[in-house]
Structure 1
Amino acid sequence: MIKPDQIRAARAMLRLEQKELARRAHVSVATVRRLEAEDAASNVAGTTVARIRNVLEEAGAEFIESGVRRRAMRNPADREARFRAIMDIAERAAALPVSNPDFSEADLYDENGLPR
């Protein structure tokens, strides 16, 4: 059975908020919070723990005896999909400055150097 620390570590590694994990596992946020508490084993059903674990594993976590790690890419198709996702993010980020207006010091501060 996975431990609360492993679940918190997996969420952090995968950058999943409790709300998103709960949504993907079809459980309440309160259930995720209980599962991440120190006395989680007595408060959450085993099937719910298994569902949370499956969601985290599908997202890329691999639970090991001493903790959790990111699962290695399995095949070239996985690597290509990840590369495409990263390139999509890069293209969106590159477009941001174009859509934002340029600001100068004169726009932000008055002639005395005080914020407008």
Structure 2
Amino acid sequence: MPISPEQIRAARALLLLEQNDLAQRAEVSVITIRRLEAALGASRITPANLEAVRQVLENAGAEFISDGVRRRRVAPPDTHTLYQDLRAISLRSGARLRKQE
């Protein structure tokens, strides 16, 4: 599904991303972002650059739908995995503290 300049602007606003932040993450210029968000500028952008911007926005949580954009729903964290990760962090921290004594 092709995305429109309005959807790009809306996704950036939804994710609280400035143009320069989006450009840096997508490894494109700010001019490219401005062109993508302009009504007629998107036709002057390579498909690879458009795809890079789209990927950054989607990875940040945007979901493009037929008539707009919305924040992608995130599955709740697995509590057992979360507990294991936090326990591992606390054990490493305790070991470091013991070494400093």
**TM bucket normalised to smaller:** 0.7 to 0.9
Give me the identity figure in percent.
56
When the two structures are aligned, how many residues end up with a matched partner? 78
1:46 alignment partner in structure 2: 47
Alignment of 1:1-116 (within 5 A): 1-76=2-77
Provide structure 2 residue ranges, at least 5 long, that are not aligned to the other structure: 83-101
Q: Distance in 2 between matches of 1:26 and 1:41?
A: 17
Whose relative contact order is higher, 1 or 2, with alpha carbons under 8 Å and at least 6 apart? 2
Q: Which has the larger radius of gyration?
A: 1
Q: Distance in 2 between matches of 1:9 and 1:42?
A: 19
Q: Distance in 2 between matches of 1:32 and 1:41?
A: 9
The residue type paired with residue 30 of structure 1 is: I
TM-score normalised by the chain length of structure 1: 0.64
TM-score normalised by the chain length of structure 2: 0.73
Q: Which runs of at least 4 in structure 1 moved beyond 2 Å after TM superposition?
A: none
Q: Distance in 2 between matches of 1:29 and 1:19?
A: 6
CA RMSD in angstroms comes to 1.3
CA drift of 1:75 comes to 3.8
The structure-2 alpha-carbon separation of the partners of 1:46 and 1:75, relative to structure 1 and needing over 3 Å to count, comes to: same
Provide structure 1 residue ranges, at least 5 long, that are not aligned to the other structure: 81-116
2:94 alignment partner in structure 1: none
